[in-house]
Structure 1
Amino acid sequence: MIIDLPSTTTSNVNKKLVELRESGGAVALGRVLTLVIVTSDGSEVEQAVQAANDASREHPCRVIVVASGARQAAPRLDAQIRIGGDAGASEVVVLRLYGPLADEGAGAVVPLLLPDAPVVAYWPGQAPEIPAKDPIGALSHRRITDAAAEPNPIAALHKRVKSYVAGDTDLAWTRLTSWRAMLSSAMDLPPHEAVTAATVRGAADSPSTDLLAAWLADCLNVEVLREDHPREGSGIYSAVLERPSGNIEIVRPDGKVGSLTQPGQPDRRIALQRREIRDCLSEELRRLDPDEIYEATLGGLHRISRAADRPEAETDAEQPAEQEGGEAGKGKKS
């Protein structure tokens, strides 16, 4: 069921929510948290609401969508309430703010927050410079951003390092859960040797590739090389852990199925489908405490080295000049 409330107030929205609950015969409100989605784009609203609806089947919640409209318009609040099949296991309130109200999202959200329930803020697109200092971010126990959705994902990721406050997280980190699990389980198998170096390869615009490299650098305390894969938007391509007896290597060429190779074990095909936003959001809503591993990984971003920053490999030009058939420039690393 979808109820439109044009040119309304938050008081009227609250009254309508109570009325709908009572008419539906619900005595208690079985919601575990309030999820506030902050966006300004029309198509982005529907995508974010759909992801929240899917996540709500695991975490029943009240979803409040704050969508900023034209700031040149007259001040107006248009609301929409979605319950039942149109809201998954949650109740969705979409607030469209126009004119001077477009910058007053926090004021519109506060009257609609569930009492004594945690608040999670989620920016599916471009996030504030410092999420914790944003008016809605300041209300929240957890703040979820998505560097991959920003115009410049890598620059956005490095902003997260400077702006991090306990309770922050990013879906670029959540997308790594399967990779981290596979690499950890592979290292648990014999031979139990220390990793001496690692290489992570992925798209140049993939923040998850940078985070995987930083996680390995922090956990293993080794040098990690981050290489670019030629296809943008393809995410992580491979991860290689070097050990004396042979390398552990995971390669995912198609973004769906990977192959795991390691000494003394048969090669294995593993499911490494790129995770949907709804799955990442569900995972992040499972915990409301600070993610210390994510914090440490952000701190490890400065430890990774990039192929473009390394000195060129030894070439024939660096060898004695008088070499028959020798040609300067051959033998460089790609």
Structure 2
Amino acid sequence: MKIDLTDTTASKINNALVQGRRALGAPAVGMVLTLVIVTDEEHAYDALKAADDASREHPSRKLVVIKRVSRSPRDRAKARLDAEVRVGGDAGTGETVVLRLHGEVIDHAQSVVLPLLLPDAPVVVWWPVGAPADPAKDPLGALAQRRVTDTYACEDPVAELERRAATYAPGDTDMAWTRITPWRSMLAAALDQQPGVRITAAEVAGEAYNPSAELLAMWLADRLGVPVTRSVSNGPGLTAVRLETANGPIVLDRVDGSLATLTMQGQPDRAVALKRRDTSELMAEELRRLDPDDTYASALKYGVARLGTPGAAAPAAEAAEEKPAPAPAKKAAATSKKAAAK
């Protein structure tokens, strides 16, 4: 069921939601959170589709905020709010309100969203594109317990990671971090099979300007305390991780974006499923936890600049030999496994 409202108010939108639920014979509200999606017309359809699919696991009220740019000075001075209310099958599991802001109301989107939030329910704000420089201080981000960005959609993802580190606040997270959860879990499990072995260096290979590869490299460097080299491959996405150990290398290699091969000294090669996930799966994972992600914060603040390049890998390894030996792999694996579970 869809209800179109032109030049409307938040009060009329709330009334339309109530009428829509009553028309469907379901007046009770059974949603667990409010998901606010801040996007543009170009990306609104894909973002809403992903949110609808994720809502099957997390029933929610979805508020899609689209800021329409006015062409003339007269239109920019005139504030107008148009809305499309969807309930029932048209809204996945939950309710959807598409808000189109025109004119001066664009600068006061929080005043439109605030009356539409579910009472006593967590709020998650997601920017598929065009995230603010400081999500926690953004007027809409300030309403949320969890703020989701995606550095992959930025023109310079590596520079964006540095900005995210500088402005990080508890509750911030990024889709680039969510994409590497299966990699972190698989690497932690591999290290558990090599108790007591020492890791001396690591290398992460992936496409250029891939923030997930940078984050995975920073996570390994932060957790293992060893030099980590970031190398460039043809993709797709992340392609390989190599951990140098006293017993021989541990290699997790994925060349096709779907199936990976885990190679360890003294053991047969194993094929493991490591496919690239859809946005709906990533969003569903993000909505499973609403508390601050300390592991993400620690990896992010490690800093891209501290990662090595292939040309600097040898000097870094030599410097590592002169320093005290790194922590045993057993301890590092336990830390990694705990971090991956978060």
**TM-score of the superposed pair, with normalisation by structure 1:** 0.89
Q: Name the counterpart of 1:240.
A: 242
CA distance in 2, matches of 1:221, 1:312: 16
SS of the residue aligned with 2:199? coil
Q: What amino acid is aligned across from residue 36 of structure 2 in structure 1?
A: V
RMSD over aligned CA atoms reads 1.6
| Structural mapping, 1:117-266, within 5 Å | 117-190=121-194, 192-230=196-234, 234-266=236-268
In the alignment, does 2:307 pair up with 1:304? yes
CA distance in 2, matches of 1:70, 1:222: 49
CA distance in 2, matches of 1:156, 1:308: 24
- Deviations along 1:36-70, one digit per CA (max 9) or x if unpaired, are 00012x13101110011011011100000000002
Q: Name the counterpart of 1:46.
A: 45
SS of the residue aligned with 1:8? coil
- Deviations along 1:222-263, one digit per CA (max 9) or x if unpaired, are 1101111145xx211110000011110011111111111001
Shift of 1:105: 1.2
Cα distance change on mapping 1:84 and 1:296 into 2, 3 Å = same
Q: Name the counterpart of 1:37.
A: 37
Q: Name the counterpart of 1:16.
A: 16
CA distance in 1, matches of 2:100, 2:217: 40
SS of the residue aligned with 2:45? helix
CA distance in 2, matches of 1:310, 1:263: 22
CA distance in 1, matches of 2:22, 2:87: 13
Q: Compare CA radii of gyration and give the structure with the larger one.
A: 1
Cα distance change on mapping 1:308 and 1:101 into 2, 3 Å = farther
Shift of 1:308: 5.6
CA distance in 2, matches of 1:205, 1:81: 38
Q: What amino acid is aligned across from residue 12 of structure 1 in structure 2?
A: K
Shift of 1:71: 3.4
Q: Name the counterpart of 1:288.
A: 290
Shift of 1:24: 2.2
Shift of 1:298: 0.7
SS of the residue aligned with 2:255? coil
SS of the residue aligned with 1:305? coil
CA distance in 2, matches of 1:113, 1:190: 49
Shift of 1:152: 1.6
CA distance in 1, matches of 2:50, 2:104: 29
Q: Name the counterpart of 2:60.
A: 61
Q: Name the counterpart of 1:276.
A: 278
Bigger drift between 173-182 and 13-22 goes to 13-22
Shift of 1:10: 1.1
Shift of 1:312: 9.1
**TM-score of the superposed pair, with normalisation by structure 2:** 0.87
Cα distance change on mapping 1:86 and 1:309 into 2, 3 Å = farther
Shift of 1:188: 0.6
- Deviations along 1:195-235, one digit per CA (max 9) or x if unpaired, are 1110011111100000000000011111101111145xx21
Aligned length: 310
Q: Is the 8 A contact 1:71 1:100 kept in 2?
A: no
CA distance in 2, matches of 1:24, 1:230: 51
Shift of 1:26: 2.1
Q: Is the 8 A contact 2:69 2:103 kept in 1?
A: yes
SS of the residue aligned with 1:151? coil
CA distance in 2, matches of 1:251, 1:168: 30
Q: What amino acid is aligned across from residue 43 of structure 1 in structure 2?
A: E
SS of the residue aligned with 2:65? strand
- Deviations along 1:246-292, one digit per CA (max 9) or x if unpaired, are 11001111111111100121101111111111111111101110000
Q: Name the counterpart of 1:112.
A: 116
Q: Is the 8 A contact 1:68 1:103 kept in 2?
A: no
Higher relative CO (Cα under 8 Å, sequence separation at least 6) belongs to: 2
CA distance in 2, matches of 1:309, 1:130: 33
CA distance in 2, matches of 1:44, 1:214: 30
Question: Larger helix proportion, structure 1 or 2?
Answer: 2
CA distance in 2, matches of 1:90, 1:113: 13
CA distance in 1, matches of 2:297, 2:198: 24
Gap regions ≥5 residues in structure 1: 314-334
Q: Is the 8 A contact 2:172 2:292 kept in 1?
A: yes
Gap regions ≥5 residues in structure 2: 317-342
Q: Is the 8 A contact 1:71 1:102 kept in 2?
A: no
